[in-house]
Amino acid sequence: MFGTAYELPVPVLTDFNGGAVTDAQITVEIIPESGTPFTVENYTFTPDQTGTFTVRYTIVSNDESAVKEFALTVKDTTAPVIVFDGEVPKTAEAGDTVVLPAVKITDDRDGVLGYRIWLEFEGERTELFDLSFRAEKVGTYKIIVETSDTAGNPAEISAEITVTERSESGGGCSGTLFAGAGMAGAAVAMAAALLLKKKKKANR
């Protein structure tokens, strides 16, 4: 696996009579499909790329030499990691526009990865092309984010949002429900409330 240390086999040497050979010099060389060959110490090899490598043992003893090779295939089997950069709202009221937090993806090999985001409701999936949707009906909405790296390793996360009937205190007006933003979000909400109060006083 890419990025994992491989413990290469240590050769056991014998002479024609079956006796152990202990004075041999052994060189272990790694030959990548592309790039410069290099030697390794202590029979340990940590690949920095995927592909097929040739592992070559060169053994020298009493002015005689022998070469033994085998192939080692290194694959990327680690899936990307997806997280929401903030808290996904857990509840909303019918008619609300729900705004989701940004999506962050990391991978041990690839850089920037794209993703697809889906809204699942009543057994139907709809692809979202931005991080918001309008919750028209009461029920449970499921958000699903999918991606995969260049090696084809898939990754997915999901979150659920429960939508209820609009409360009477809401005045029958729909709103926008933002992803959690800590104190900054609270400050914006407070400023909006004060502005509404000032407008009501001005209209009296």
CATH number (domain holding residue 143):
2.60.40.10
Residue 154, domain member (yes or no): yes
pLDDT at 193: 42
Q: Identify the domain containing residue 163 by its residue range.
A: 81-181
Give residue 110's pLDDT.
85
Q: Evaluate whether residue 201 is within a structural domain.
A: no
pLDDT digit string (tens) for 8-58? 999 988 888 888 888 899 999 999 988 789 999 999 999 888 899 999 999
In sequence order, the β-bridge partners of residue 117 are 128, 145
20 domain residue, yes or no: yes
- The domain boundary, picked from 53, 74, 95, lies at 74
Judge whether 17 lies within some domain.
Answer: yes
Considering the domain architecture, whether residues 59 and 132 belong to the same structural domain is answered as no
pLDDT tens digits, 98-111: 999 999 999 988 88
How confident is the model over 145-169, as a mean pLDDT?
93
117 and 146 assigned to the same domain: yes
Does residue 204 register a pLDDT over 60?
no
pLDDT at 177: 67
pLDDT tens digits along 159-203: 999 999 998 765 555 677 666 644 344 343 344 444 444 444 444
Residues 54 and 145 in one domain: no
Q: Both 63 and 87 in a single domain?
A: no
Comparing 18 with 142, the larger pLDDT belongs to 142
Last residue of a domain, one of 55, 74, 93: 74
Number of domains in the chain: 2
In-domain check, residue 197: no
Q: Which long-range contacts (CB under 8 A, 24 or more apart) does 81-87 make?
A: 81/105, 81/106, 81/107, 81/155, 82/115, 82/145, 82/147, 82/155, 82/156, 82/157, 83/157, 84/145, 84/157, 84/159, 84/179, 86/179, 86/180, 86/181, 87/179, 87/180
- Cα–Cα dist 177/21, whole Å: 75
Q: Residue 132 pLDDT more than 90? A: yes
Asked whether residue 69 is assigned to any structural domain, the reply reads yes
Q: Kindly write down the DSSP assignment for every residue of 99-145, as one continuous string.
A: EPPPEEEE-SS-SS---EEEEEETTEEEEESSSEEE--SSEEEEEEE
> What's the mean pLDDT in 71-83?
93
User: Does 62 share its domain with 95?
Assistant: no
CA dihedral (113, 116, 117, 119) in degrees, to 10, reads -170
